[in-house]
Structures are given as C-alpha cells and as structure tokens.
Amino acid sequence: MTAATDKEAPKLPETDFTETPWLDPQAAPLIQIKSLSKEFDDFTAVDSISLDIYQGELFTILGSSGCGKSTLLRMLAGFENPSAGQIIIDGVDISDLPAYDRPVNMMFQSYAVFPHMTVAQNIAYGLKKDRLPNAEINSRVQEMLELVQLQDLAARKPKQLSGGQCQRVALARALIKRPKVLLLDEPLAALDKKLREQTQFELINLQHKLGTTFIVVTHDQEEAMTLSSRVAVMDAGRFVQIGTPLEVYEFPLNRFVADFFGTINLFDATVTSSVQVDSCTHTIEAALDKTGTLVKADCSHQLNQGDIISIGVRPEKLSISQKKPRGKNLTITNGIVEDLAYYGNRSIYRVRSHSGRMIQVSAQNFQRTKELVLEWDDQVYLSWDSSCSVVLPE
Amino acid sequence: MSQANHSIPLGDKLWRWLVISLPYWWLAIFFLAPFAIVFKISFADPVVAQPPFSNFFDFSPGAESWLLATLDNYRFITEDNLYWISYFKSLKIATISTVLCLLLGYPMAYGIAKCQPGTRNILLMLVILPFWTSFLLRVYAWIVMLGKTGAINSLLLKMGLITTPIEMLYTDGAVYLGIVYTYIPFMVLPLYSVLEKMDTNLQDAAADLGARRWQVFFNIILPLSMPGVIAGSMLVFIPALGEFVIPSLLGGIDSLMIGRTLYDEFFINRDWPLASAVATVLLFIIVVPIMLLQSSLKEHS
C-alpha cells in the first residue's frame, strides 16, 4: 500500500512522455475513439469518426459552428449518447457510462459556474460528490486555488468575479478531480483579446505542469494554432485533416483546410509538366487558368500533364515590390494595390492582378518611416518561391 | 448630478416625477387609504346606526376626551376562542394547500420548461385556461362533482367499487381540493419562468463533476429556483389565507376559516369594528412573515 502511494507521490511534474507520441507505433493511446457517430432526427452530426489521442497531448478540434465538434465533445463528456461506435479511455470502454462516472471533466464555454456557491464551494463540488473526507477536500481546494491564483477570492460569489476569474474557477473546478482527460469547450472565446493571449499561455503552462491530457474544441484557428500539440480540422461531422499546427498550416490536404486554417490565395491551374527531383519531391509546372501564367510548385507526389489542381500561396510568403524581382524558381506577377491595411507590425495589401484576380499579401514593416512605402493604386510586382506554393487537389 | 437636473425642463421634471410616483399613488389610494379606514373602525364601538360604528373623534364641548378609541375589539378577539380557532384553521389550510400546490406545481412547471417551445406555449395556455371561466362557476362545478349524488360518487357506485356514497363535499378535503385547484396556476407560472431561464449547462456541469440526477436537482435546480418557489408560495398562501368563497361553498361546518368569520362579523352580526379588528390582525399575520422573508432574502443576496 505504502509502496503504491510512494510511486504515485511524485506524479505532478511528470512530463516524460515523448513530444510526438503519435509518431511512435509502440505508444498506446490514452483515448481511442472508434468509428463514433451521432445521428439526430434528420442529420448526422458526427459521422463515423476514429481518433487516437495520447497521454499529455493538448489536442484541438477545430471547426466552424455546426460541424459536429461540440457534439463530439458532449459525447466524450457523456451528455450525449453515441448512435454508434466506442470511446475507450485508458483501456476502458466508457461509451455507456453516465457523465458522473467518467474519468473526464469538462470546462464549459459559458463556464457554468454555480451562481449560488462561492468560489471555494464551486471548486470543492466535485470532491464533495465523491464523498472525500473534509480535510482532504479543503487541502486540495487550497492547492487548486493557489494553482489558478484565486486564494484571495475563495469566499466570493461568481457575481463578484470578472470573466477571466470565472474562467479560472471553471478550470480549477474541472481539474480538481484529477481527470484523465480535461475537455475544454471554447475555453477562451468569452475573454477579450489581451486576456485571451495571456490566458493561452497560462493554459499551456498549466497543462505542462499537470500533464493532464486536454481536448479543446474551438472555432478560432489562431487559438488552435497556439495551443495545440495536434489539431483535427473538422467539417460536416468528419475530420478533414489531423496533424501538428505546422503540418496543417504549411501542408494542408485540400482547399477547405487551406482556406479554414489561415488565409490563402488559391489559383486554379492545369499541370503542364512534372519532374521528379528526389524520392519525395516533384517539381511541377502549371498554367493558371484565364492568364496561362506558368507557376512552379513542389509537390510530394507525381502528377500528370493535364491534371486540374489548385495552387495555394499564403499571403506572408509573397513578396511585394515596385521593382521587378529577379531569381531562380520565382513566380512573378504584377498588379495594382487596391486595398491596404496598416497593422503596425505588418501591412496587408490586396492586389488586383491583370487577370482581375485579387491576391492578398501580408508584409512585415521592416523600416520605420513616416509615410507608407506603398500606396493605393501603386503598380507592384508580386513574387514567390516555388517551394512556397501548395499543390491542392481540385 | 445637480447639473443634470438643471438642464431638464420643468415640464419634463414634473412628468418624470409623476411617472415614478404613480405606483406609490396607486398603493396610497387603493391600499393604504382603505386600510387606514378599516384600522380606524377597528378602534370604534358598534352602534345601531348608519354607519354602524361610533365616531372616532368627539369635539363637542364637555366631552371627556376628544379621541374616542377603544381596544375592546382586540381584547375580544384574544378572549374568544372562535377567532383563534379560525386564524389557526386558516393558517393550517393555507400552509398545507401551499405545500400541495408546490408539490404538484413544481413537476408541472419543470415538465413544461423541458418541452419544445411550441408545446410549451400550448401547455402554458392550458394552465391559464381555467381563468377564462368564472371562478364561482368552477367552484360550483366541484359541488356537482363531489356531491353525494355527484358525478364521482355515481360513477363509483355504477362501477360497483363502493356501495354507499363517499362523504366528499363539505369536508376539509374538498376545501384543500378547491384551493389547490384554484391557485395552482399562480404556483406554476413563477416556477416556470425561473426554470425556463435556467442554464442547462449548470446541470451538465454538476453531472460532469459526479452528481447523480437527484443530487443535480437538490444541489443546483432547487436552490436556483428558490425565487420562483417563494414567489409562487406567496401567491398561493396569501389569498388562500383569506379565502372565503371556497370554504363556504365546499367546506363543512368545521372548515371555519378567518375569511368566513370576517364575513359573518361584517354582514351577519353587523359588528364592523370587531370585523375590522379581525381584518387588521389578519393583515399583520400576513405582513410579518413576508417582511421577515424579505429581509432574509436581502441577506442572502
């Protein structure tokens, strides 16, 4: 008995999981979702989803409203019964367990802090329901209050708290039962921008400290990008792409992901030639529709002449200049600045090319000047390296 | 603040004052003034005259005192058991009826609040529907239902479940039935409005933290619906306490509620001063608990 508790004692700072367990074929996932579906009367909210999530991950499910991400989360929490499929946590099938018996806790989007209880009572609620001895409840509540820095507000009612403080109460309340998985429904949506940025980092630090597996649902791609170890982009009840934020941003699998996860300029094109460079890179050349401008791009697989594709370029990967740029592997086009937005650190230009296409460019403002370097209606050249083009199937 | 006042034209100021003071005027004219009259009469002596009570002031020369107030009526109330019995009976009937309304009305309100919005409106309409018929008529209808040869007894007799009619009319049971039947909408509506607005995420959150269904109810739903429980209970308890029609029509001889006693004093005995004293005491019985409740609510929030 003592040996077991000794083993468990130094559990808190445990971070000895690998950084990328999903690449390790030996690693056993903590959560296994197996062809999970949820059908409502007339539509399918979640359509046969399968997913493995590993211990210590901060996994984000990203999608627009109505894509089924909240239904998926509610099924994990036990508020909705799946129509088909299984949810396995730590080897135990929890699909049929009621919410109160699951080793998961949830932080609600509205925080759902009990308005008639004090901060301390809110946080203690989960342990009270487990009928833990009062002394232990008190010490764990104290520990939690310190963790979320609410020691001084323990006796306050939620009405007397700010939005950020309520969020921390909700977080502490959900974490106090030491769940195997913490579900977070749009954890930052209700906070204002400054607080959101700050809270993002706090959340990540907390997650690292506790080593609890977090599953976050959000519609905000920036939130998904900064928080996650991995992101699953969801659309119409299915996952469109799962990967690290970097993978999903730089190597989107299709137009939907490219467009949803960040901003991208998309051009319809037809492949004119495809040359294999090495085992996993092909350099293709494609003619843009309408203008026939030839664009070079790197692609991971062989394409055939005549294939119809989309070429995508992220706005920050384009260079904008008044002089014609020179260089190998550059794709160059020109146009007129139609819109520009000055953000201080960067500017966003919307350039109308000769074919009438609108191209968005995001440029860092390297120099400190009194006047804008580029103005409305300026003639400009746009260029990008072929390695920056993303080839997307039509 | 004062600057803001300066910039408001006099007409607007008057208008604003009028609008704000309107509820106070209403209370003063329709509540305080009648009560003051009743209160005054309660200190008078009954006389056989029109009006049937003695003057309150006597300014005639040679009078012993210009104020002719007497506490005889209040003294009489404390001395005669009849009043205490009817006060107690009223309190008992009102309390039990309120509890019954709560026990019946809570599940009703909860059920309605859980329905789809369309169904909800239909059910609410059904709750209010009885108000479209005269209250008196509905109480008479219960006489037809409960009587010895009434609908229920004839049905039971025909089915052979009983051999002699059950004594239902003119009992306390009939009074409870009548009061609960009449006042239950006043319980359901405030409860519904609280339950309908309640954030279901709170219930999910409690379940998520390990609460069983009954714990969710007692830890979350019930405490958060207390404003509705209190409002509904007041709306049932107060009129039930002074109820006159239902006990006189459905109750037996021993269902003597204070409303009936009051009526008898006023119209049968024509002892207006005593009746006024009874009414004044009744008012205090109602007002004191309400004030206590109010102050305890204030402490809560």
For B159-205, what is each residue's pLDDT tens digit?
988 888 888 899 899 999 999 999 999 999 999 999 999 999 999 99
pLDDT band at B7 (very low <50, low <70, confident <90, very high): confident
Nearest to B201 among A104, A108, A177 (CB): A108
* Residue B215 with chain A: CB contacts under 8 Å: 129
Q: Closest approach of chain B CAs to the CA of A99, in angstroms?
A: 5
pLDDT in tens, B227-281: 999 999 999 998 998 888 899 899 887 778 888 888 888 888 889 999 999 999 9
Nearest to B215 among A99, A115, A129 (CB): A129
* Residue A99 with chain B: CB contacts under 8 Å: 204, 207-208
CA-nearest residue to A176 within chain B is: B209
Interchain pair A105, B208: CB under 8 A: yes
Q: How far apart are CA A215 and CA A76, in angstroms?
A: 10
Residue A34 CB-half CA count within 13 A: 13
Has residue A90 got a pLDDT over 60? yes
A147 at B interface, C-beta within 8 A: no
* Residue A108 with chain B: CB contacts under 8 Å: 201, 204-205
Q: Closest approach of chain A CAs to the CA of B207, in angstroms?
A: 5
List residues of chain B with CB under 8 Å from any CB of chain A. Answer: 199, 201-202, 204-212, 215, 219-220, 223-224
A366 at B interface, C-beta within 8 A: no
pLDDT band at A193 (very low <50, low <70, confident <90, very high): confident
Has residue A225 got a pLDDT over 50? yes
Comparison of pLDDT for A8 and B89, the residue scoring more = B89
At A10 the pLDDT is: 44
* Residue B219 with chain A: CB contacts under 8 Å: 125
CATH code for the domain defined by B81-270: 1.10.3720.10
Has residue A1 got a pLDDT over 50? no
Tokens of A146: 């310190």
How many other CB atoms are there within 10 angstroms of residue B15's CB atom? 12
A115 at B interface, C-beta within 8 A: yes
From edge to edge, which strands make up the β-sheet containing A265-278?
Answer: A294-299, A281-288, A265-278, A308-313, A390-393
At A7 the pLDDT is: 42
Cβ contacts of B53 within 8 Å, gap of 6 or more: B41, B44, B45, B46, B47, B272, B273
DSSP state of A292: -
Residue at A262: amino acid letter = G
Nearest to B201 among A98, A100, A112 (CB): A112
Beta bridge partners of B57: B67
Has residue A59 got a pLDDT over 60? yes
Percent of chain A with pLDDT over 70: 95
DSSP state of A238: E
Q: What is the mean pLDDT of residues A279-293?
A: 84
pLDDT band at B301 (very low <50, low <70, confident <90, very high): low
Q: How far apart are CA A387 and CA A393, in angstroms?
A: 17
CA-nearest residue to A156 within chain B is: B301
pLDDT band at B219 (very low <50, low <70, confident <90, very high): very high
Has residue A236 got a pLDDT over 50? yes
CA-nearest residue to B207 within chain A is: A100
pTM of the entire structure? 0.82
* Residue B223 with chain A: CB contacts under 8 Å: 116
At A47 the pLDDT is: 93
How far is residue B226 CA from its own chain's centroid? 18
pLDDT band at B5 (very low <50, low <70, confident <90, very high): low
At A4 the pLDDT is: 42
Interchain pair B210, A116: CB under 8 A: no
Has residue A14 got a pLDDT over 50? no
DSSP string, A3-33: HHHHHHGGGTT---S-S-GGG-TTPPPSEEE
* Residue A78 with chain B: CB contacts under 8 Å: 207-208
Q: Which residues of A175-195 are buried (b: 16+ CB within 10 A; e: fewer)?
A: bbbebbbbbbbbbbeebeeee
Q: What is the mean pLDDT of residues A119-127?
A: 97
How many other CB atoms are there within 10 angstroms of residue B17's CB atom? 10
pLDDT band at A6 (very low <50, low <70, confident <90, very high): very low
* Mean pLDDT for all residues in chain A: 89
pLDDT in tens, A313-347: 999 999 999 999 988 888 888 899 999 999 989 99
* Residue A126 with chain B: CB contacts under 8 Å: 209-210
Nearest to B209 among A110, A115, A173 (CB): A173
- In chain A the domains, ranked by start, together with CATH numbers, are 23-259 (3.40.50.300), 263-393 (2.40.50.140)
Interchain pair A125, B209: CB under 8 A: yes
* Mean pLDDT for all residues in chain B: 89
Percent of chain B with pLDDT over 90: 53
How many other CB atoms are there within 10 angstroms of residue A323's CB atom? 7
pLDDT band at B50 (very low <50, low <70, confident <90, very high): confident
Q: How far apart are CA A70 and CA A108, in angstroms?
A: 11
